[in-house]
Amino acid sequence: MHKLMKQFLAVLLLAPLAFSAFAQPERFTAGTHYTILPQAVKTNDPGKIEVVEVFWYGCAHCFRFEPLIEDWEAKLAPDVDFVRFPGMWNELMKVHAQAFFTAEALGKLKELHTPIFNAINIEGNRLQNEQQLSAFFAKYGVSPEDFSKTFNSFSVKTKVNQAQAKMRDYQVRSTPNMVVNGKYLISTGDAVRTQQEMLEVVDFLVNKERSSS
């Protein structure tokens, strides 16, 4: 009898802890801090958890986000694939997306990404057409001929068209936005008030995907 009483007391002591762990609410919730996309979007590498940053070079919020996203990217685990993705819903954004894919095709994206941001947001150079972009790329060793050939190439224009289609799938309506594993869309707003918190939601969803695999 004494042994049964001890076991009963032990169960009573552990029960609140077990219930507390089970009932612990998640810090971030769907519909409030992030949106579950109605249709999952295909990712580049199914073997990794993809995190997409949808940005625009002309977006001041994206410009301010860059130091945060660079610091966050430097600490990423090997199972996370980070992808920068140019958003577009008007002609100027399309030109900037074309510039992004041109820099990528020329192997100059890492070198040019921050300078493009700086040119538009600090120096007031809108880089709004092929001529202005050609002159800008020339400062970084790209000849006008190589720039024009790449900027107007079939492969770059195809990537722009594919990105436009993916924008619709992501249901992005502002920048910067983040998409985790083609399933979850995160943006700042009433619930997610800061860009730092947006990255915290991203980390939460990355862990959620990691634990479900």
Ranges of the chain whose pLDDT falls below 50: 8-21
Residues across the chain: 213
What is the per-residue pLDDT for 3?
Answer: 53
Would you tell me how many other CB atoms lie within 10 Å of the CB of residue 192?
20
Q: Which CATH superfamily is domain 29-87+172-213 in?
A: Glutaredoxin (3.40.30.10)
DSSP E strand stretches across the chain: 35-36, 49-55, 80-86, 177-180, 184-186
pLDDT of residue 15: 46
Q: What is the pLDDT of residues 117-131, one digit of tens each?
A: 999 999 999 999 999
Phi, psi for 177 (deg, rounded to 5): -125, 160
Phi then psi dihedrals of residue 49, to 5 deg:
-90, 115
Q: What CA–CA distance (Å, rounded) separates 25 from 4?
A: 34
Say what the pLDDT of residue 12 is.
Answer: 44
Handedness of CA 69, 45, 168, 91 (dihedral sign): positive
Question: In a 3-state reduction of DSSP, which class is residue 15?
Answer: helix
- Could you tell me the CATH superfamily of domain 91-169? Glutaredoxin (3.40.30.10)
**What is the model's pLDDT at position 213?**
79
pLDDT for 135 equals: 98
Q: What is the pLDDT of residue 24?
A: 59
State yes or no: cis peptide before 176, omega within 30 of 0. Answer: yes
What is the DSSP code string of 30-49?
BTTTBEE-SSPPPPS-TTSE
**How do 184-186 and 80-86 pair as beta strands?**
unpaired
H helices, E strands: number in the chain = 8, 5
Q: Where are the domains of the chain?
A: 29-87+172-213, 91-169
Is 29-87+172-213's fold the same as 91-169's? yes
Angle formed at CA 107 by CA 97 and CA 50, multiple of 5 degrees = 65
Distance in Å from the first CA to the final CA of the chain: 46
Other CB atoms within a 10 A radius of the CB of residue 59 amount to: 20
Residue 84's SS3 state is: strand
